Amino acid sequence: MLRRFVVLMAAALPLAAADVRVVEEIAAKVNGDIVTRGELEQSIKDYEKAAREDGLTGAKLQDALKLAQRDALRERIDELLLVEKAKQTANINVDGDVARFVAQISTQNRLTDADKLAAWVQDNLGLTVEELKQRKRDEFLSQRIVSQEVASRVNIPEADMRKYYDAHQTEFVREERIFLSQILVSTEGKTPQQVAEAEKRAKDLVSRARAGEKFAELAQANSDDTDTARNGGFLPGGYKREDLRKDIVDAIFDQKKGYVCDPVKLSPPAPPGFLILKVEEHYLPGQASFEEVKEQIQQFLAGPKVEPKLREYLTKLRLDAFLEIKEGYVDSGAAPGQDTSWHDVAQVKPQTTTKEATAARRRKYILGIIPHGRVGLPKPAAGAAAPAADAAAPATDAAAPPAQTPPGAGAPVKP
């Protein structure tokens, strides 16, 4: 098992709780950021948890964990380089994606206020809401830059996509689902006269939407649900009939794409107010058409072609980056010929960082990023050698209790 260690800040003083500070050993430096040993340990724990949940046991689980351990540093360096590149690209903004993700958690788990959301995230993921947002922001940034710089340049002929569709039509039989956007006009704490005014305002917004004004712009300017308002009112995820309350089903579920319903007066346990809903998409039960699933097929067929091109792209990012890797750690995606050796300690400091400083960067654990087109367990990198897990451990290491393992940040949120 990988070990943590403690450093006494003042060796001459008696050993006491106030004199001991837990630090993280730095495994690599990536431009202006660092990768710590603790992050790599946590990534392996998260991976093992996910693998067990996928049903891996015995020899297959052990083989998968060996690959995860070998590639843990590679994955973390990949992530840091992709996130940095995405931040340098002016047209990439994922704030809306992050907000929709958080809204989806709230919707699926009926979390009606910020305090309930914070408690749920802490209890189920072991994170603060801000830490969760940071994880998802980095994940979305990485996915977006991969899609823009790599996947978009992989061409799949339409004839190939149609051939796949014709041969796998049973894969595209789906349940009925509806996709919605909303505007909430709140009446919480309002007098009867103010409630009447709110209803009049809601009806006016419906009229404006039906007259052709953009629903997303109306939501951004008028919805009292700030989390969805900034995303044009969009509610992430498709809903089945049984997912929604009866009054919502009656108002919207049998309508076609583009329909805007009359204001629905909300009743407990929903917060008081008037809800306006627009049907963004309505998938009927049965066989999906080729046009409806064309993009999905394209992404699937592009996967095998994207992976090698992604590694080429990441190699280029490495060659343009400042990288130093401490002895005993191996980047299985290293660029050929690049010098990433750890230089003289006197010139390159520190070799450790406090755990508090690591947390302050909100990079407490490694992200479980799955680049576009990549599924399943990580594949071995050709010719890569597995790092010696304990080779870099200092002689003064002291055993520490294992950290609790929260569920992986990239895993789907279960209601």
Residues 101 and 13 in one domain: yes
Residues 9 and 145 in one domain: yes
CA dist 171 to 163, 164, 167, 290, 401, Å? 14, 10, 9, 12, 47
Structural domain including 88 reads: 5-152+303-360
Residues 32 and 123 in one domain: yes
Name the percent of the chain lying above pLDDT 90.
Answer: 46
Altogether, the residues listed in the chain come to a count of 415
Residues 218 and 258 in one domain: yes
* Strands, E assignment, 266-415: 273-283, 286-287, 323-325, 352-354
Structural domain includes residue 247:
yes
Residues 135 and 36 in one domain: yes
Furthest C-alpha separation in the chain: 78
**Alpha carbon 95 to its chain's center:** 12
pLDDT tens track for 92-148? 888 877 877 887 787 677 777 788 888 999 998 888 989 999 999 999 999 999 989
319 strand-pairing partners: none
Find out whether the peptide bond into 401 is cis, omega within 30 degrees of 0: no
Amino acid at the residue 234: F
Phi, psi of 229 (to 5 degrees): -60, -40
Nearest Cα residue to 298 out of 151, 150, 89: 151
Residues 280 and 350 in one domain: no
What is d(CA 185, CA 201) in angstroms, rounded to the nearest whole number? 8
Nearest Cα residue to 87 out of 13, 141, 22, 164: 141
Predicted pLDDT at 78: 95
Residues 54 and 186 in one domain: no
181 strand-pairing partners: 234, 278
What is d(CA 83, CA 380) in angstroms, rounded to the nearest whole number? 23
**Alpha carbon 250 to its chain's center:** 34
Average pLDDT, the chain: 78
What is d(CA 231, CA 241) in angstroms, rounded to the nearest whole number? 24
pLDDT at 281 > cutoff 70: yes
Residues 280 and 312 in one domain: no
The CATH number of whichever domain residue 239 belongs to comes to 3.10.50.40
Number of domains in the chain: 2
Residues 66-82, mean pLDDT to the nearest whole number: 95
The CATH number of whichever domain residue 140 belongs to comes to 1.10.4030.10
pLDDT tens track for 31-63? 989 999 999 998 999 899 889 988 999 999 999
pLDDT tens track for 338-361? 999 988 554 545 666 655 555 454
